[in-house]
Structure 1
C-alpha cells in the first residue's frame, strides 16, 4: 500500500507523535460486517483534537464566552490502513504539522493495541472571528502554543 502524500517515512512519522488519546470501539460504532464504520474515524479525530487543543490551552481561549475567535475545520482527510473491530482499544495521536497565518494543519495516527497503524489523517483548521466569519491571524501567544506542539 502506498503511503499518503503527507507521510514520507512511516516509521519516522509514527515516532513524531507525542500526544495520544485512548478510545475503545463501541458496538454502535461498528457496521453489519463487524468492523468500525468508516465515518467514525472523523469522530475519533475530533475527540482527540479537542483534548489536544485543551492541553495546548487554545480550547479554553476559544470556549471563553467573551472570546471573539473560534476554530473551524477547513478540511479533513482519513486514510484507512487496517480494519478495526468492536472493543479494540485505540490510541489516537495528534500533532501540529504546519502553522499558517491563521490556520494550522494537524495530522492524526490511529494505533491498535499491537501498535499497528490502522488509520492516518490530516486536516486544516482556521481561526475565525465569531462576528464576521473572517480569518483572524494567530497572535504571538497562540503561535507559541501551536509551535510547542509541533
Structure 2
C-alpha cells in the first residue's frame, strides 16, 4: 500500500465548509503517481503507457479543511492488461471516502491494450489488497 499525506487547501472547500466532492478524484490521481512510475518511470507524456478506463468515488463522511488527510492506495485486481486501483481518504482516524480507478496498459502506437510486463506485475503483486 502507498500512503500520501495531504494538507487540504482553503480553495478545496465549498460553500458548506467541507472539502468539495470534486477534489477527491484529483487527490486520488495524485496518489496514483507511484503506480504511473511503474509503467513510465520518467512520467514523460511522450512515453506514457496507461489510460484511465473508469473511476468511481464513494463519499462516506465529510472531510474538513485544517486537518491532514491520508490517501491510501493499493490494487484490488490485476488482469492481463488492466488493473483496478483501490483508494481511501482518511481523516481523524475515519475513512471518509473510497474509490476505484480501472487503468489499462496501453500501446498508443498500435492504439490497443497491451499485456502488463512480468517485471511490473511482480511489483503490482506487492500492493495487492487482501480481503
Given that 1:52 and 1:94 are in contact with CA atoms closer than 8 Å, whether structure 2 keeps it comes out as no
Matched residue, 1:8: none
> Structure 1, unaligned stretches of length 5 or more?
1-17
Given that 1:19 and 1:52 are in contact with CA atoms closer than 8 Å, whether structure 2 keeps it comes out as no
Matched residue, 2:59: 80
Matched residue, 1:19: 2
Give the alignment partner of residue 101 of structure 2, picking from 95, 100, 123: 123
Give the alignment partner of residue 36 of structure 1, picking from 19, 39, 58: 19
Aligned residues: 128
TM-score, with structure 2 as normaliser:
0.88
| 1:148 to 2:129 alignment | no
Q: Give how far 1:122 is off.
A: 1.0
Matched residue, 1:9: none
RMSD: 1.8
Given that 2:50 and 2:106 are in contact with CA atoms closer than 8 Å, whether structure 1 keeps it comes out as yes
Change over 3 Å in CA distance of 1:102–1:111 after alignment to 2: same
> Structure 2, unaligned stretches of length 5 or more?
none
Structure with the bigger percentage of strand: 2
Q: Give how far 1:20 is off.
A: 0.8
* Structure 1 residue ranges, 4+ long, deviating more than 6 angstroms after superposition: none
Deviations 1:21-69 (A, max 9, x none): 0111101111111111111000010011113544xx334066485x4x5
Given that 1:50 and 1:59 are in contact with CA atoms closer than 8 Å, whether structure 2 keeps it comes out as no
Given that 2:8 and 2:66 are in contact with CA atoms closer than 8 Å, whether structure 1 keeps it comes out as yes
TM-score, with structure 1 as normaliser:
0.78
